[in-house]
């Protein structure tokens, strides 16, 4: 969706261009491709261009100055025009590595930490099968923890990254947006293997969970595994 912007320019005493019309997102001329920061995707109304050229022609403004003036206007519009959203995912990743972090990582930081906390708690429970003898997964199946369905889905070891690990956070955050062409993921993100699929529960927790997942008329919103037939 193209956006419109009005910028007043006062490049020199006596030269004032009120409310110059810019747009972002209506034309992307292929022969002059470049970055958004260099003006790609931006348009400016012709009368303003002519007035600037007149000022150059009259010797009031210098061409280089006008060029910088226009680039400063682009800088000014970059955020309000939402340019970052349209930037290339590979570029965003490269800038994040260069700068140490980025707004995408910032936005996912809490969710990443929460996912680590959840995984650690699930792993802890998994290592205490006598205390936590039942388990449920994402598809709301209920099992005994010893069930082969659960075993097959659980990791053999657990070595999660630290919540402070910038590269792991980067993988978590950028992976979510890194699908540009069909299912091609972003190259060279470290794999994250800390996901623990099943949540083990005490017998009491399991009964409460079954209750929560039973409708008012007794309909079950969960599935009791036929193989292990859990009976908490
Ligand atoms: Zn980032
Ligand atoms: Zn089972």
pLDDT digits (tens, 9 = 90+) for 195-219: 999 999 999 999 999 999 999 998 8
Q: What is the pLDDT at residue 177?
A: 63
Question: Exposed, middle or buried by CB within 10 Å (0-12, 13-18, 19+), for 110?
Answer: exposed
Nearest ligand, measured from the Cα of 93: 1
Percent of the chain topping pLDDT 70: 95
Domain range annotation of the chain = 3-87, 93-224
Query: Residue 133: what pLDDT?
Result: 97
- The pLDDT, as a whole number, for residue 227 is 94
pLDDT value at position 72?
A: 97
CA of 214 to the centre of ligand 2 (A): 19
Cα 221 to ligand 2 centroid, rounded to whole Å: 16
Q: Give the distance (Å) from ligand 2 centre to CA of residue 113.
A: 30
Stated pTM of the model: 0.77
Average pLDDT over residues 136-161: 94
Q: How far is the CA of 79 from the centre of ligand 1 (A)?
A: 17
Supply 78's token pair: 């970059």
Distance 94 CA to ligand 1 centre (A): 9
Ligand located closest to 198 CA: 2
Distance 191 CA to ligand 1 centre (A): 15
C-alpha–C-alpha distance, residues 123 and 160, integer Å: 10
For the stretch 26-50, pLDDT in tens is 999 999 999 999 999 999 999 999 9
pLDDT for the residue numbered 176: 67
Q: Which of 47-61, 89-103, 112-126 has the lowest mean pLDDT?
A: 89-103
Give the ligand at the shortest distance from the Cα of 148: 2
Of the listed ligands, the closest to the CA of 106 is 1
Strands of 223-224's sheet, edge to edge? 199-201, 134-136, 141-144, 223-224
Predicted pLDDT at 184: 56
Task: Give the rounded percent of residues in the chain with a pLDDT score beyond 90.
Answer: 83
Tell me: pLDDT of 182 over 60: no
pLDDT at position 179 is 47
* Confidence at residue 90, expressed as pLDDT on a 0 to 100 scale: 86
């Amino acid at each position: 969706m193209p956006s419109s912007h009005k910028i007043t320019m006062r490049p020199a005493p006596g030269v004032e261009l009120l409310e110059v019309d810019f747009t972002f997102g209506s034309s992307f001329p292929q022969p002059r491709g470049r970055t958004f920061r260099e003006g790609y995707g931006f348009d400016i109304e012709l009368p303003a261009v002519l007035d600037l050229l007149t000022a150059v022609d009259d010797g009031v403004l210098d061409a280089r100055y006008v060029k910088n003036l226009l680039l400063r206007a682009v800088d000014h519009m970059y955020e309000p025009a939402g340019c970052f959203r349209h930037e290339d995912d590979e570029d965003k990743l490269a800038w994040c590595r260069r700068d140490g972090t980025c707004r995408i990582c910032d936005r996912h930081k809490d969710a990443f930490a929460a996912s680590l906390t959840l995984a650690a708690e699930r792993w802890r429970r998994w290592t205490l099968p006598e205390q936590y003898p039942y388990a449920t997964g994402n598809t709301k199946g209920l099992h005994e923890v010893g069930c082969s369905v659960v075993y097959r889905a659980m990791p053999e070891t657990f070595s999660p990254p630290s919540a402070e690990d910038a590269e792991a956070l980067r993988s978590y955050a950028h992976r979510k947006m890194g699908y540009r062409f069909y299912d091609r993921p972003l190259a060279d993100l470290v794999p994250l293997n800390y996901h623990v699929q099943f949540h083990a529960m005490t017998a009491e927790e399991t009964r409460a969970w079954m209750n929560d997942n039973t409708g008012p008329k007794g309909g079950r919103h969960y599935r009791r595994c036929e193989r292990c037939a859990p009976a908490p």
